[in-house]
Structure 1
Amino acid sequence: MEFNVKHGAAETIKTGCLVVSINEARTLTGTAAHLDGICGGQISAAVKRGDITGKPGQTLMLFALPGISAERVLLIGSGKKPALGDRDYRKLLQKTVATLKDGGATDAVLTFSELSVQGRDLYARTRLAVETIRENLYQFDQFKSKKADKPRLKKCALWSADKADAAALKQAIAHGQAISDGTDLTRDLGNLPGNVCTPTYLAKEAKALAKQFKGTEVEVLEEKDMKALGMGSLLSVSAGSAEPAKLIRLSYQGTDASAQPHVLVGKGITFDTGGISLKPGSGMDEMKYDMCGAATVLGVFKAVVSLQLPINLTILVASAENMPSGTATKPGDIVTSMSGQTIEILNTDAEGRLVLCDALTYAERFKPASVVDIATLTGACIVALGSHTTGVLGNDDVLVDQLLNAGKQADDRGWQLPLFDEYQEQLDSPFADIANIGGPKAGTITAACFLSRFTKAYPWAHLDIAGTAWISGGKDKGATGRPVPLLTQYLLNQVQG
């Protein structure tokens, strides 16, 4: 989708479709009122007839209105509220896309700059519009013999009467497009089947990104390299699989080399059977999404590097396949992590923390300004927060607050869970330094407690995206691309101060 900016009198804009919002008031306002005067009252007449009342999402397409250059005018209801919430605004945009994408127009001009959205300036609501439109045009059909029809809508212009708005609109489009490109990459990787998207495939994707963008560097550690580093915890997860594990590093230098990098660590379990602690068969196909943390950090990397942000960024992908076999790790086995801490593996299905802990220890060598790990880690997070909100925990209140605020800004929200010392006792083991599970209570918190034992050298936060990374079941099943917007916003804020 191509986005651009339009200015000038709305009636003079030549486009396949001019999109105008109307509210539920009986009197037209803004652009709708202006156009109504130009076309001899045809819009107000439609309202008077009851063809459209302005209820949220209600639409009416008008053709060849006199005095108006647009071939079509799409009226869409914005409801009664003087200022829309993010959810209402997104629904308005979703209905707009649904109406236009398979219609007759190949281009459209949106006049939504005049809408008021709670807590959002012109830049913020324009960027949210770009991201929402892109999100609703996403298609994944590469394994279908019959491909989905391509949307007829190819171009979308964002209109403002005031030319002084041009800079904010253009920046919002640039940021929104970059974030959407990263989100699409994350969704594509997440939606790939496990027989395609292996640790080796993720390594190839990382190399392709490094080749695409200047100022980047890639390194892939093989199992022999990890063994030399003492990563017994990570390697215990891949022990039962024919697919070799990979630890992938991508680095981008966007500012002075002396500046500490921000590090993102992604869980990349490309398929999770649970290992010897085998999962139930129902819904196991969705365990291809257990690498969405890895997909997320690759998507964020693409967004940041395409924008050439003046920041140093390193991503680490800890990738393995968790399978049962004669060589697989067993419940009760004890392994030694890179940090030297020993781990009693009570449940092989709690494998994400086992790959992450070695990657988090490895992150120390980069002397990071911050480290954030992203993982589809616990079903308990879905029980606690559902599928709308990402769980956030960490050892640094400033970092946690920055992530929570970035989530609000990006409409990709997180919620903080506690990380009190009392929970650490649930991980006590009679045979090793730490057990890899803490029992049935507070599973998301005890998982983060486990990770916290490997993150004492730097500010750290953990994002549990088990509920937000993908939509389960039904025709809408698929990766969401979250939390690419949250993390990209967090990094934008580091640059903007």
Structure 2
Amino acid sequence: MNFELKALGLAEAAAQKCDALVVVMGEDFAGGSDPVSRLAQEARKAGDFEGKPGKLLQAYRFEGVAASRLVLAGAGDGSAKRIQAAVHAAVAALRSKGVKRLVVCLPADAPEGAVRAAVAGTAEASYVFVATKSKPEGRELQRVTIAVAGDVAAHQGAFDAARAAANGIEFARELGNLPPNLATPTRLGEEAKKLAKAHGFQCEVLGPKEVAKLGMGALAAVARGSEEPLRFIVLKYQGAAASEAPVVLVGKGITFDSGGISIKPAPEMDEMKFDMGGAASVLGTFRALGEVRPAINVVGLIPSCENLPDGRALKPGDVLTSLSGQTIEVLNTDAEGRLILCDALTYAERFKPRAVVDIATLTGACVIALGAVRSGLFASDDDLALALQEAGDAACDPCWRMPLDDEYGEGLKTNFADMANVAGRPAGAVTAAKFLQRFASRYPWAHLDIAGTAWKGGAAKGATGRPVGLLVQYLLGQQAPSAAGRKPAAAAKRKPAAGAAMARRTGGAGRKAAA
């Protein structure tokens, strides 16, 4: 879909020739003498529309409005979060109405972030997956105009970033929604190469022999049970001087997770195709970087394989030697995500990064702790954690900081290796993060557990593209100081601040996200 930005008042927006006009209104909307304002005023008097969050009023061929369909969308206090929800509700209501040309008119006093919110809300509500359907119907919306009051130039930067993020999110959703027989590790490598060719990135895709030569024993062990060959993908975007240390993004790419020998229950196992949500988010973020071209260096690392049971598969009781040289006793083969990530985190050291962020559908325990609203955030560096939290809030893609107290790592002790790969049910999301932390001690590090946010189940089943919005916003805020006037995350490692936000207790039950 094509987005454009225009300066239009309500009267001008009403005159636009389009299939539908969405007008976002807060509770304090006053309006003028134009047709849309008159409708809103009359509807309020009649008690049919109040501008409250989620409220919609639809009109067909309303006098004085060129669009066939008019939707008034309530945005409550007019915050960016409410605007995104209002636009999402309005566009969702127009689905299957044959709307190809849409104008979204924002309030005259819309806050910073309103343009981003409008683009994100439109893109999310209009997305339809058709790649594997015999009759690819449903993608009707083709052109969207975001109408703002005043000078367009003041909103252009935010609009360009929002459009790039929306394209990145859609790219991630498309990959996540592909069935596991198509979205294989090989396919992820091919998609990375296509991105690199289209946007001028550097790309290297390693196979089983190269991974074995490097000494990535944990990644190689997880891949043993599948006939699909593993891939280790390295993407590099250079938007700043070569001397600038990069941010490294590490995405978990388990393209299907049966649990291995520790096999999962059959119900909803099909959703384990979404276990490559971290990998999809890294690729989606690079898709956005290719458009917005920020002044920052970024490296993407994606360890990818399947986790299946066969005669060669990883077994409970096996001891692995990771790339770092640390040994790991496998107590549960369904805790495979951390095994492939630990080798990638060690590999990241060679880039001398300013920060490393790994993204993974890691634990069902995080779903119990935070549900589907916020991603779990763990960080060894306070500045990095704050930057990610602020980015998530600004992008309406929120996360919540969880603890990393040393005591949580006690459960990883074992008599047979340097550590075990699981520590029991209590605080399962935290102990998984503590495992990863043992491989991320040489740089500022953060871990995003997206098991609850990377996809939806039930009638709305499908990938969400999260946390691409958060990652893009974070990277834009971490550009070289000469370009963005922002101080990068501090290089010094810090322990989490006392009283860091947390859930008191997390369990291992709930959605069967890969451990």
CA RMSD of aligned residues (A): 2.1
Amino acid of the residue matched to residue 489 of structure 1? Q
1:63 is matched with 61
1:173 match: 159
Determine the structure 2 residue equivalent to 1:6.
6
Task: Could you tell me which runs of 5 or more consecutive residues in structure 2 were left unpaired when the two chains were aligned.
Answer: 487-515
The SS at the match of 2:252 is: strand
Offset of residue 58 of structure 1: 2.4
| Corresponding residue pairs, total | 477
Letter in 1 for 2:147: W
Change (3 A) 1:29 1:104: farther
- 1:19 alignment partner in structure 2: 22
Q: Equivalent of 1:205, from 183, 186, 191?
A: 191
Matched, 1:469 2:469: no
1:267 matched to 2:252? The reply is yes
1:223/1:245 contact within 8 Å kept = yes
- State how 1:180-199 maps to structure 2 within 5 Å: 180-199=166-185
Q: Of 451, 454, 464, which residue of structure 2 is paired with 1:480?
A: 464
Quote the offset at 1:320 in angstroms.
1.0
Residue 114 of structure 1 aligns to a residue in which SS? Answer: coil
User: Is 1:437 paired with 2:437?
Assistant: no
Distance 1:71 1:171, change over 3 A: same
2:132 pairs with 1:143: yes
User: What is the CA distance between 1:128 and its match in structure 2?
Assistant: 1.1
Deviations 1:5-24 (A, max 9, x none): 33355434332244334566
Deviations 1:63-93 (A, max 9, x none): 352xx462446241527x4x23455323311
Seen in structure 2, the aligned counterparts of structure 1 residues 96 and 340 have a Cα distance that, compared at 3 Å, is: same
Q: Which string of whole-angstrom CA distances, capped at 9 and with x for unpartnered residues, describes residues 405-463 of structure 1?
A: 11111110000111011111110010111100011111111111111111111111100
CA distance in 2, matches of 1:482, 1:74: 30
Cα 1:297–1:37, aligned 2, differ >3 Å: closer, same or farther? closer
C-alpha displacement of 1:486: 0.4
Distance 1:297 1:311 in 2: 15
User: Matched residue of 1:373: which SS?
Assistant: strand
**Does 2:139 align with 1:154?**
no
Offset of residue 357 of structure 1 = 0.4
| Matched-pair contact (CA < 8 Å) for 1:221–1:248 | yes
Residue of structure 2 in register with 1:133 after alignment: 122
Check 1:421–1:53 CA distance in 2 against 1; reply closer, same or farther (3 A cut).
Answer: closer
Seen in structure 2, the aligned counterparts of structure 1 residues 431 and 210 have a Cα distance that, compared at 3 Å, is same
Q: Does 1:249 align with 2:234?
A: yes
Q: 1 CA distance for matches of 2:115 and 2:205? A: 38
Change in Cα spacing, 1:91 to 1:42, as seen in structure 2 (3 Å) is: closer
**Whole-Å separation in 2 of the counterparts to 1:8 and 1:385:** 40
Code of the residue aligned with 2:72 in structure 1: it is I
One-letter amino acid of the counterpart of residue 182, structure 1: G
Matches of 1:292 and 1:104 in 2, distance apart?
A: 31
CA distance in 1, matches of 2:250, 2:208: 18
Say if 2:87 and 2:122, in contact at 8 Å, map to a contact too. yes
**In 1, are the aligned partners of 2:103 and 2:146 still within 8 Å (CA)?**
yes
Which residue matches 1:258? 243
CA distance in 2, matches of 1:403, 1:161: 30
- In structure 2, the partner of 1:231 is 216
Does the 8 Å CA contact 1:51/1:60 hold for their aligned counterparts?
Answer: no
The change in CA–CA distance for 1:447 and 1:94 in structure 2 (over 3 A counts) is: same
CA shift digits 1:4-48 (9 cap, x unpaired): 2333554343322443345667xx712xx331499xx66645555
Cα–Cα, structure 1 residues 71 and 416, in superposed 2: closer, same or farther, change >3 Å? closer
Kindly name which structure, 1 or 2, has the bigger radius of gyration based on alpha carbons: 1
1:253 is displaced (CA, Å) by 1.1
Cα distance in 1 for residues equivalent to 2:400 and 2:40: 44
Indicate if the aligned counterparts of 1:53 and 1:77 stay in contact, CA closer than 8 A: no
Q: Taking structure 1 as the reference length, what is the TM-score of the superposition? A: 0.91
Correspondence for 1:313:
298
For the Cα contact (< 8 Å) 1:394–1:462, is it kept in 2?
yes
- Residue in structure 2 matched with residue 34 of structure 1 by the alignment: 33
C-alpha distance after superposition, 1:346-388 (max 9, x if no partner): 1111000100001110110111111000000100000111111
For 2:474, the aligned partner's letter is Y
Q: Give CA-to-partner distance per residue, 1:328-351, whole Å, 9 cap, x none.
A: 111001111111111100111100
Partner of 1:395: 380
For 2:352, the equivalent position in structure 1 comes to 367
Kept in 1, the 8 Å contact 2:118–2:146? The answer is no
Task: Provide the residue aligned with 1:290 in structure 2.
Answer: 275
Summarize the Cα distance change of 1:24–1:431 in structure 2 as closer, same or farther, 3 Å threshold. Answer: closer
Task: Provide the residue aligned with 2:495 in structure 1.
Answer: none
* Residues 150 and 8 (structure 1), Cα distance of their counterparts in 2 relative to 1, 3 Å cut: closer
Deviation for aligned residue 1:155: 2.2
Which residue number in structure 2 is paired with residue 355 of structure 1? Answer: 340
Contact preservation (8 Å) 1:127, 1:176: yes
Structure 1 residues 182 and 160: alpha-carbon distance in aligned structure 2, compared to 1, 3 A threshold: closer
Q: Tell me the SS of whatever aligns to 2:300.
A: strand
Name the SS for the 2:353 alignment partner.
Answer: coil
- Distance of aligned partners of 1:368 and 1:108 in 2 relative to their CA distance in 1, 3 Å threshold: same
Residue 95 of structure 1 pairs with residue 89 of structure 2: yes
**How far off its partner does 1:223 sit?**
1.2
Match of 1:344 in 2: 329
- The separation in 2 between residues aligned to 1:332 and 1:279, in whole angstroms, is 18
> What is the CA distance between 1:161 and its match in structure 2?
3.6
Structure 1 portions without partners, runs of 5+: none
**Aligned-partner Cα distance in 2 for 1:371–1:42:** 52
TM-score, with normalisation over the residues of structure 2? 0.88
Question: In the alignment, is the contact (CA less than 8 A) between 2:127 and 2:139 conserved in 1?
Answer: no
Q: Does 1:494 align with 2:497?
A: no
Whether the 8 Å CA contact 1:369–1:459 is kept in 2: the answer is: yes
Whole-angstrom CA distance in 1 between matches of 2:320 and 2:242: 36
Cα distance in 1 for partners of 2:404, 2:430 equals 6
Structure 1: 4+ residue segments shifted above 6 A: none
Give the stretch that moved more between structures: 351-360 or 393-402. Answer: 393-402
What's the CA shift for 1:101? 4.4
Moved more, 482-491 or 69-78: 69-78
| Contact 2:389–2:400, Cα closer than 8 Å, also in 1 | yes
1:275–1:322 Cα contact (<8 Å) kept: yes
- Percent identity over paired residues: 47
